Structure formats: C-alpha cells, structure tokens
Structure 1
C-alpha cells in the first residue's frame, strides 16, 4: 500500500509576516539606492561654477570749433560753411589803395572732444580766389601770443603762413600749434590773425585797385588729434 504524502501545511501568519517584511526591506534598499543616486548627481553639479566678465570698447572723440570774434563758436567744417572773417569791408570792395586789413580767427576743441589736438597746416582752398584778389597782397597768418591782439601793423606772435596775394599762401607751421583739451568743456581758444594790404600802385604788372570790384579767398585750417601715452 502506497503511502500518501502528508498534505502541505498551510502558511502560518508568522511566515507571511517575515516574507512581507523582507520585501519591504528590499524595496526600501532599492528606493534608498535610487534616492542616493539622484543625490549624488546633484551634489556633483555644485562643484562647477562660472564667473563672467564684459569689456566695453569705443573710439574717442575729436572735434574742433571756430569763431571770427573769439566769443561765438560754431562748426565751420566745410568750404560751404566757412566762417566769414571780418576784414573791415574787404569783401564789400570798399577798400582804398594802401589800406591794411587784419581779421582774427579762433579755434578750440569742443566740449565733446576727448583728445587734445594741434593745428598742422593753413592752406588756400583750390580755386577759391576770386575777383581782384591779386590786388590784396602781402598776406600773412599769425599765431597770436596769448594776451595779444590781432591788429594791423605789429602783431605779437609768429607768422605761420604767408603769400604774395590772396591767391597764394604757403604754410610754415613747425611742430603744430597746440589745441588744449578739457574734460567735458571746450579747450582754450587759440587766436590766428589774417592780414593783407591793398595795392596803392601798379606792381609787377598788377593794375591798380579797381573801384567796385570784389576780392575773395577761402582758407582751410587743418588740425589733428594728439595723444600721449
């Protein structure tokens, strides 16, 4: 007679409790491992940091303004905007033979300029001499000493350009005439003095000064910025 195997014993409450506890521990370990993994990534990210620097670069500014009286300054930066010098009534053709004329002209750096400068040349603008320009002779341009004035005859200063007549001029500036710079203010004004004399007799084939005929010439005063390290 074959023996009948004993019937399986039902799982006890105690064994079920132990199995359930083991599963909870495994889940807890897995969960803890997951949290630790995420925590490790976040912790590593804090070991990297950055700082930023920005540089702003720009060109400086250089500009000059001028005046025919030393008081009212403006931009006369082209032939069409040239300042009219006050040679008495020279341009109105009211000159008489032998009359001498002098006209002041001032230059300075503008309040917007961030550099000092210097006057480098004084030139006659091409094809600018008109009318009986050859009748106004012995043209001279002076750099007037500070405190002196622009008058006919003797001027305290240095001749920086000269010519035989209004249609002729040769610049003779050595090293340039300084133009000062002031922060957010106009620089000190530099005075030039233009002089000419009306002919009083026929000279070198030039006829006498003719009544009612004008004479006109335009000059350019060239400057450049200066910068010392």
Structure 2
C-alpha cells in the first residue's frame, strides 16, 4: 500500500511540469524624406541650391531689360529644380502666376505682360534664342496663364536636374499706350511638388 502511494505521488508531480516559451516581435517605422530645391543662378552650382517654400520665394535673375521694359522688349531668367539629398523622387507642376507676397501690381501692366516658360532635362541657354531649346509648358498673358498640364519628373536623391527658362515680354503693340508706363509687377510662381513612391 505504501509503494502504491509513492507511485501515485510521482505521477502527480509529473503533471505539474510544463515547458514555457515566448516569441517577441517589433516593428520600426520611419518616414521617408521629401524636399525639392531650387537654383536661380545662371551658372548652376552646388552652393546655390536653396529651399524657398513660401511666396515670394527665390528671386529669378532676369536680364537687365526687366528693370526698364519698353514695348517689344523681353527679359529672361533661368531656374533649375532637383530633389534634395536623401529625398524621394517627385513630380513638379508649374502653377499660374500670382502677385508676390506684399506687392500690388499695376493692373494695366499685369494684364499686358506676356509670359512663356520652357523646360528641359538638359542644360540650355536662357535667352531669346536658347528658350526654344526647351519644351514649352506655359505661354500667354501673365494674368491668365493657368497651371501647366505637363508635370516634370525629378529623380530621387538629387539624381536629376530639371532646367527652366522664363520669358517676360511687353508686347510691341503697346508702343502708343501710356497706360503701362511707370508701373511695376512682381509675379510669383509656385511649382507644386508631389513625392513618388520609392
């Protein structure tokens, strides 16, 4: 009887023994980087790349004619865009002109000026002859040209540069008009950028 009790006791102890195991997992989440930079220098250089994210933005460097337009004159300014180092790729779309922050344009001059913008993924000269080397993405009266319907692509991590040339012209047919004399206009343009999935 005593032996039987011992056997039963051993059986009871063995049913209490169990194995334990745990599995842990975790996830690390980070956001990607997205930033577009601009360069308004005629000779594009790394030191001149900046971020200007609000109106009026970076100053386009128009040729000297821009300071004293007469009918028939045109002025030209280059611009280059790229993504910043470490940034996702992007598409950018030129929007219609609006008055630069803090300015009120002369109504007649704003309505009279013509604008043309061309672009290329290869460098080209931004002047009366060179502007035709790019693809036209905007053309018409400054006051009425809407957003471009042709976005441009920028590679990730500063992998490509998109070049632009802006032309502002005062039409020759205004030679007999005094309505636009002595007026100023300071348009600002936005390039809306949208990131692309990595």
Task: Give the TM-score of the pair, scaled to structure 1.
Answer: 0.67
Q: 1:123 touches 1:169 (CA, 8 Å); kept in 2? A: yes
Is the alpha carbon distance of 1:196 and 1:161 closer, same or farther for their aligned partners in structure 2, counting shifts above 3 Å?
A: same
Distance 1:157 1:200 in 2: 24
| Deviation (angstroms), 1:215 | 2.2
Q: 1:129 touches 1:217 (CA, 8 Å); kept in 2? A: no
Q: Deviations over 1:18-54 (max 9, x none)?
A: xxxxxxxx9xx99xx79x95x975xx24x12112111
1:133 corresponds to = 110
Q: How many corresponding residue pairs? A: 183
Distance 1:225 1:84 in 2: 24
Q: What are the equivalent positions in structure 2 for 1:1-229 lying under 5 Å apart?
A: 37=13, 41=16, 44-45=17-18, 47-69=19-41, 70-71=44-45, 72-80=48-56, 82-89=57-64, 93-113=67-87, 115-125=88-98, 130-131=105-106, 132-137=109-114, 139-155=115-131, 156-164=133-141, 166-174=142-150, 176-182=151-157, 186-202=158-174, 207=178, 209-211=180-182, 213-227=183-197
| Deviation (angstroms), 1:102 | 0.9
Is the alpha carbon distance of 1:129 and 1:189 closer, same or farther for their aligned partners in structure 2, counting shifts above 3 Å?
A: farther
| Deviation (angstroms), 1:214 | 2.3
Larger radius of gyration: 1
Distance 2:104 2:134 in 1: 26
Distance 1:90 1:134 in 2: 19
Distance 1:207 1:158 in 2: 34
RMSD of the alignment, in Å? 3.0
DSSP-derived class of the 1:133 partner: helix
| Deviation (angstroms), 1:125 | 2.5
Distance 2:84 2:69 in 1: 35
Distance 1:126 1:103 in 2: 17
Task: Give the TM-score of the pair, scaled to structure 2.
Answer: 0.76
DSSP-derived class of the 2:174 partner: coil
| Deviation (angstroms), 1:95 | 2.6
Distance 1:90 1:222 in 2: 29
Q: 2:99 touches 2:185 (CA, 8 Å); kept in 1? A: no
Distance 2:177 2:23 in 1: 79
Q: 1:133 touches 1:167 (CA, 8 Å); kept in 2? A: yes
Question: Which consecutive unaligned segments of at least 5 residues does structure 2 have?
Answer: none
| Deviation (angstroms), 1:143 | 0.9
